[in-house]
Structure 1
Amino acid sequence: MSAVITPDVRPLGWRTPLVIILCGCGVAVLAFGPRSSLGFFLTPMSQANGWGRDVFGFALAIQNLLWGIGQPFAGAVADRFGIVRVMSLGAILYAAGLALMAYSTTPAALDITAGVMIGFGLSGCSFNIVISAFGKLLPPEWRSFSFGAGTAAGSFGQFLFSPLAVALNQSFGWQTTLMMFGGAMLLVIPLSLALATRRNEAAPHAATADAAGTVPGQSLRAAFAEALGHRSYVLLVLGFFTCGFQLAFITTHMPAYLVDRGLSATVGGWTLAVIGLFNIAGSFASGWLASRYPKRHLLAANYFARAIAIAVFISVPATPAGTLVFGAVLGLLWLSTVPPTSGLVLLMFGTRWFATLFGFAFFSHQLGGFLGVLIGGLAFESTGSYDLVWWLAVLFGVLSGLINLPIVEKPVERPALAGA
């Protein structure tokens, strides 16, 4: 094995594990922050252009879907040609989408900017690519921590940008705020240099880190066939659908939902900020727990707990204090599915096509996000209420908890590799 494995990066003294993690976390903050605050532009953009909520919801549904569709392709390009190219192009698309979104005066223009451009931009520079870089570049003892840190950084982006979006909207207007967020996204390009990987080669630690082994010369088609024929991977992908459905619906529609229930937009901003803040702790805890306890149990517990939290929240009167408590509880569970999910993909298949296979799992997540945002807007326009979608989120949480329990946590069997 050691004879066919070459270093993934050229040795650079400044790219220590800590530097790689800090720069990757910086990318995650910038990529996740503006995207998680887009719900605060729903009301002002809709009022300015005379749209219903379904128009904005459809554009963000496209964004979630294309983010998911683009993720496996972005992962494959990153696996084949290196991460810097993918991240830089993604950041440019994302920044342009935010800036042009400020001048979108028709539903079609909004679909292209907020939907297509930001969606594909996210697929190239979001925390999914960051996590794949961590899996390839870092030694085994840093990986679980780095997965939690990268996920927590995305949450910090939500904590930072949600109240920032409210404050900037009030001070400068929503168009200027979008332009500012677009400019901030360009900082991803210099940060991505610390995450550079070499082309089409195995990771430097693959010989010792991956119990599944790195298959020399395994093609993308063979990797996909292997993954889609693996029952535990399929269950993992199906369960991840619910995470996207719940997160995208809540991020997009909760600010308006709270206003409908008599609370202020400020409460909505701080609720999403609290979700982001508590998810920092939840993500670090998830990364720590995923290295010590069965990952399938952590995932099942997360989905069951989300279902209970949502059911309680929508069944009691809406108050500022109660909403913030709900935000704190949900924050602990928000992205804490990512470390065990990515850890299972890495355990099953190794590092060679990690970005691609985790990207495909994330497609399921974003397909759920697409439906959560879309159904949310359509349900409100049809019934004047979000109740149907909230209860769907509860149902999906229970089903995903059950789906994750049968997952087998071990490397995929490769008889040919074992024989060799």
Structure 2
Amino acid sequence: MLWFTLESAVDEVYWLNAVGTVRFANHTATRNLGWARKDLIGMNIASFQRDMPEGEFLVPLNLSLVDVEGEEVFEAVHVRRDGSIYPVSVHRREFPGEGDLKYLVFARDTAHRHEYARQLKQAETEKTMILNAIHENLVLYDQDFRIVWANDDPAESSGHSPDELPGRLCYELFYGREAPCEGCTVQRVMETRTPITEERRLLNGKFVKISAYPVFADTGELIGVVESCLDISKRKHAEKRYRELFSTMQNGFVVLEHYSGTDTDGDDLVFLEVNPAFEQLSGRCETELIGNTCRSLFPERETIISRYAAVAKTGESMVFDDYNPIFNRHFCIQAYSPKKGQVAALYTDNTEIVNLNEQKKQSLIQIERNFEQLAILNDEIRNPLQVIIGLSLLSPAEESEKILSQAYVIDKLVNKLDQRWLESEKIRDFLRKHYAYA
């Protein structure tokens, strides 16, 4: 019965004499070592059992977990017949009596334990690398608000090394308090057992986004909370500057979202955001605009709705001029797509410029008319002048000479006007080409 028990054991079993010679080896020992039983019998155990090489394997034997009274427990390596080695945990007990059998040895192959530990260490290293690469404070708390694990970011912010954080109370370490903070996100997650995400402003003026998630055991018992804390101060300040610019800019600005209507209705857009300048130029307040469609509010603006829909669908920007008959104003509109399915439009009121250009155009047209009238006037002056010259020739010689001399003076002035009119033609061609007023 003893032989059968030892032979069928899952551990390697050896009986040794006082100097370590093998007197018995079970089937597991012969299978693991690759030696036949007849070869092992008479071999000294030192032939195949060696001290555990330092640093060779990952997990040392935890002696506190075994009963060592009356026996020696240690780790070693066994050398197979082919020269390969594998780790074992050895229990050696001295055998009572005066016979040749002195020691009973049990050796268990622990290669799987070391491999499992290696994989765990590798996974832990990869997890730590990933979590430390995240630019957020990641902390795991137990139910007493003690830190179980944390990545590098909270350690840096608290002035401690990552190894110094576990076991410390968060409210003492980070805030110098004797009790959890008022409105503590982690505490509320523990109470409600549900995740919470919120933005908060700290006493130092920084803004943070906090996400906390409950951690449960397999039994459903709450064992802790994982908290993620991200510094969003730069984003909040940028949003503040954006809102200030958005609210004070003189240009109208609107963001709309496109959605396809029915075959009869066609495309439409919903107002998502408007600034005060757009409220003023549209004649409607924000509450009237946000959430409503362009067609419901401005059904007469079919052309501009179609243009906006095209920008939202294609993502291609568009710049065009628009005249709003409701307000009798002219606008230059820059439309672009901030994201797929949306369109943002910047309105620049250029009514004064359009009116000024119109006045300029009318002034140039009037100048052109004046030049034409001048050319006609020259001809109208020459016709009566020829009559005067003809009549002067019929007058007495002395009077005729005086009349002719004045007529020639007038003729020279008219010729100068003709010359100036011809020279002005180049200027008029330039104006026609660049101002397109003709």
| TM-score scaled by length of structure 1 | 0.16
**Which of the two has greater helix per residue?**
1
**Which of the two has greater strand per residue?**
2
Structure having greater relative contact order (Cα 8 Å, sep ≥ 6): 1
Bigger CA radius of gyration: 2
